[in-house]
Structures are given as C-alpha cells and as structure tokens.
C-alpha cells in the first residue's frame, strides 16, 4: 500500500507531538489501535457473512439443479410403467367378478 520512509515517519511524529503534546500521544495511539482492531473485526465479520451466504446459495443451486434434472422424470416413468403392469395383471381379475 503506502511506503513510509524514516524521514516521513519522523515528520508525522513531530507534527503529532506539536499538535497534541507528549502526554496525549499514548492515549491517542491506544484509541487508534482499538479503532483499527474494530475495523479489522468488522471486515472479518463481513467476509464470514459473504462466504456463508455464498455457501447457502451453492446449496440452493444444487437442489434446484437436482430438481430440474431428469432423475425425477425417470422415476415417474418407472412408476407409470409399474402402474401399467399392475393394471394389465388386474384387468382379467376384475372382469371375473
């Protein structure tokens, strides 16, 4: 990202000392550190939610693809065939009564 050299860092520290004074710098550094940690945690939470959402979408797509596949059609075809066979066998039995 940014490459800060030694001279640039010295100028930043010097300006901070002049603006805030040496007694406020540790408090500012702690606050800045906490803020950066909260930002990192929030970023990780967002990444986790995106990954979890993507996994759910993949699972939904898999079930949708399975629902649209020819497997249910093949099963229905076999069921219809068995029904036809049963009707063929029971047809003569029904006529006897």
CB 10 within 8 A of CB 2: no
Radius of gyration of the chain (CA): 36
User: What is the band of 82 on the pLDDT scale with cuts at 50, 70, 90?
Assistant: confident
Interatomic CA distance for residues 80 and 53, integer angstroms: 40
pLDDT at 5: 82
Q: Which one has a higher pLDDT value, 22 or 31?
A: 31
Q: Which one has a higher pLDDT value, 2 or 48?
A: 48
Is the C-alpha dihedral spanning 13, 14, 19, 21 positive or negative? positive
The structural domains of the chain, with segments of one domain joined by +, span: 6-96
Total H helices, total E strands in the chain: 3, 0
Is the model's pLDDT at 94 over the cut of 60? no
CB 25 within 8 A of CB 16: yes
Interatomic CA distance for residues 57 and 59, integer angstroms: 5
pLDDT at 41: 94
For 26-52, write each residue's pLDDT tens digit.
Answer: 888 899 899 999 999 999 999 998 888
């Amino acid at each position: 990202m940014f490459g800060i050299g030694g001279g640039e860092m010295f100028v930043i520290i010097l300006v901070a000392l002049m603006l805030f004074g040496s007694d406020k710098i540790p408090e500012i550094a702690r606050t800045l550190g906490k803020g950066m940690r909260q930002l990192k945690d929030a970023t990780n939470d967002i990444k986790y939610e995106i990954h979890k959402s993507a996994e759910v979408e993949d699972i939904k797509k898999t079930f949708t693809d399975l629902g649209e596949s020819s497997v249910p059609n093949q099963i229905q075809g076999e069921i219809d065939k068995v029904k036809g066979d049963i009707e063929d066998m029971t047809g003569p039995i029904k006529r006897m009564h």
